[in-house]
Amino acid sequence: MKSKKNITILISFFICLFLYLYSKTLPIPVANTSLFQGNEFRIAHRCGKSILPENTLYACKEIYNNNLADILEMDVHLTKDSHLVVIHDATVDRTTNGKGKVSDFTYDEIRNLDAGYNFTIDTKTFPYRNKGIQILELEEFLKALPYANYYIELKVKDLLAAEILVKLIEKYTMQKKVFIGSVSDSVNE
């Protein structure tokens, strides 16, 4: 009896897994098409992280100007002096020539790092080093690409970050162009 129950659970698990994986290959239907044209869309995860230096204005401009995606997905953190900057990780180690937590840098300090430094496709060449690619404030993205659609994920559990994000969306009248995600339930409220 117990064996039959385990087999049923196992089969159910595999059916659910199959359906989940299969759904990932299908176009994503959009319930609210007022934000986007049509009922399907393409998302540039971290602004094209596999083809360009991730979460950079340079990458977002390339993706947007070449119509490679309908939505620019990006992540934001707060600097020590409360600037909302676009970067995925809590540290600058993986993507730049610097070391340390984003929250330990001032905006001027973090902006001086090379955000293209560690980007490579072949693990041998680093074509974006010393090209002036920076970690920038989210506001720079909204100013430079006002017609783009955004999915912005707050990576910090800090209500100040949410407040800054909301003020920026209102300042640039982006209420119908921005989706917001958060790692914290309290920020989502």
> Which residues are catalytic, by number?
45, 88
Cβ-based neighbour number of residue 19 at 10 Å: 10
**Rounded-to-integer distance, Cα 144 and Cα 109, Å:** 22
Q: What angle do CA 116, 84, 67 make, to 5 degrees?
A: 55
In the block, residue with structure tokens 């385990």: 6
- Look up residue 2 and give its amino acid: K
User: Which residues, 6+ apart, have CB-to-CB distance to 183 below 8 Å?
Assistant: 153, 154, 155, 156, 157
Structure tokens at 79: 């600097």
User: What does DSSP assign to residue 45?
Assistant: G
- Structure-derived torsion over alpha carbons of residues 178, 182, 187, 188, reported in degrees to the nearest 10: 70
User: How many whole angstroms separate alpha carbon 144 and alpha carbon 150?
Assistant: 13
